[in-house]
Chains A and B, each alone.
Chain A
Amino acid sequence: MTAGLPGTGLGGLFYLLLALAMPVIELVRTLRGDHSAERWRLALTQAGIALGIVGATVGVVVAVRLLVPGAGGDLTLALLAPLVALGVLSLLAAVVGTWGAVARRRPLEVGPA
């Protein structure tokens, strides 16, 4: 996800969801009167890349089911993997979010480095 850090694809999935959400967020901002052509261009570009990644991933799943012996019969694994990843990601976001909400109730002094 970040240069030098390894990733399983969970981080990739996180950014995929964020990128797909960007046009929706921009639409809300625009409807509220905060329009920015520059932000719209970025949102559509990132969402386009995200859709390309989704398409490529679906293509890989189809190819693996056709080419790998024993992988063609059962769709369960192909459907289960992204669901498990989504579940782990949601759980992680929920834990961090709850933790943050609790932490924000207590004061914290931020000093210089």
Chain B
Amino acid sequence: MEIPPQVVPAAPRHRARPADDLTVIVPAYNEAASIADTVRSILGQSTPPARVVVVDDFSTDGTGDLARAAGAEVLRPDANTGSKAGAQNVALTMVETTYTMAIDADTTLAPDALELLMEPLAADETVVAACGFVVPRHVSTVWERGRYTEYLLSFTFYKPTQDHFGTPLISSGCFSAYRTAALKAAGGWSERTRAEDMDLTWTFYQAGHRVRFVPEAVCYPIEPHDLDFLGKQLRRWSHGFVQNVALHWRGIVRLPFLGTVVGVALFDAVVASLVYLFVLPLLAVLLSPWVLLAYVVDVPAVLVPVLVAARRRGEVGRALASLPSFLVLRLVNGLYMLEALVTEVVLRRPLEVYEKGH
């Protein structure tokens, strides 16, 4: 019996992959030291994207030339846009692919990160954003070590738990993928707060969309190595959080899980700042110096998820050596959160300038 030609399966020459329909946007302002590594890391992925567009946001250090030499398309606006969100939106207007990804100019990816991050978007139409696991590329100074511990804790215990309940709190701006239509429908990355990734994620939830966390998709940003850079980053994050709560509370309180997560985070951040910076020192003076043990009493509890993550990565020694830095970092976190609350809520002076600090 002869098989009709139309039922003979043709050998697939090239199976369509989500990355074939993906544009990666890399906003960059004076990133000459890192942009080439970032572009090469994207182009060297197991499934490279259709386009890599670097938005050279009026850099003065040759960032655009380096990005072009590394293989990226380069867009250069007529003037500095003033923020990461602004730079990303310049490129978004030109995106015609189904998916869009944003990657910071100081962030490199594990070789299969892009392929893995695209999976939930390709598999489920209701998912409009996906974010990956973040690990600092350099772990040397006290601030980098503190952040390393903080990320291992957050991305091993908190974020997978949030994902199981369908609500990762933030699709991190340094490495996230989006369904382009939903991103454009949300108006792109808004510049109304200093944490555009949190703003976008919460906007998606209020529109009924889903966001996923993909722990296997790993990225490596350069984290602040000194207090000056760290301060700029923490000012953006803490002010951005307060601004987003003020902007979205009417909408997120209607979403039971997100409302509770944000409510607990806000309450905890306010109380923790006051306790760490004022209550514990005061009680130590008035009652007993043993009260100061409260600063470290949760170390074994913190160590459990941190060591789980570190063991998976083969970095147990590094994690143990970094733990004391985490204790220092969270005091600094408290200081900046308190400053943000006082400035934004009490003094009504919102942070409006986007200060670059990794």
Contact = CB atoms under 8 A, between A and B. Distances in A.
Contact of B300 (A19, A57, A97): A57
Contact of A103 (B154, B190, B250, B298): B250
A97 B260 contact: yes
A53 B301 contact: yes
Interface stretch (B14-22, B52-60, B269-277, B316-324): B269-277
B68 interface: no
A110 B190 CA distance: 14
Interface string A89-103: 100110111011001
A76 interface: no
B128 to A, nearest CB: 13
Contacts of A70: 288, 290
B177 interface: no
A113 B190 contact: yes
B157 A15 contact: yes
Nearest to A14: B264
Contacts of B161: 15, 18-19, 22, 46
A1 interface: yes
Contact of A49 (B163, B293, B308): B308
B29 interface: no
A113 B187 contact: yes
Nearest to A48: B308
A25 B251 CA distance: 26
B150 interface: yes
A64 to B, nearest CB: 7
Contacts of A69: 290
Contact of B234 (A4, A56, A64, A112): A4
B246 to A, nearest CB: 15
A108 interface: yes
A52 B303 CA distance: 10
B211 to A, nearest CB: 15
Contact of A56 (B273, B276, B301): B301
A52 B156 CA distance: 13
Contacts of A87: none
Interface of A: 1-12, 14-15, 18-19, 22, 25, 39, 42-43, 45-46, 49, 52-53, 56-57, 59-60, 64, 68-71, 89, 92-93, 95-97, 99-100, 103-104, 108, 110, 112-113
Given A6-B337, A8-B268, A11-B265, A97 B330 contact: no
Given A10-B268, A56-B300, A100-B254, A113 B290 contact: no
A113 to B, nearest CB: 4
Nearest to B262: A96
B331 to A, nearest CB: 8
Question: Which among A2, A57, A68 has the highest number of chain B CB atoms within 10 Å?
Answer: A2
B293 A64 contact: yes
Contacts of B188: 113
Nearest to A47: B161
Interface stretch (B91-99, B101-109, B198-206, B348-356): B198-206
A1 B293 contact: no
Contacts of A93: 260, 263-264
A7 B269 contact: yes
Given A4-B234, A4-B238, A15-B161, A60 B301 contact: yes
Contacts of A5: 237-238, 241, 265, 268-269, 333, 337
Given A42-B164, A59-B300, A60-B297, A112 B264 contact: no
B336 to A, nearest CB: 8
A6 B192 contact: no
Interface in B205-263: 206-207, 233-234, 237-238, 241, 250-251, 253-256, 259-261, 263
6 contacts: A4-B336, A12-B301, A46-B157, A49-B305, A96-B259, A103-B254
A56 B333 contact: no
Given A4-B234, A110-B206, A113-B200, A68 B263 contact: no
Nearest to B271: A8
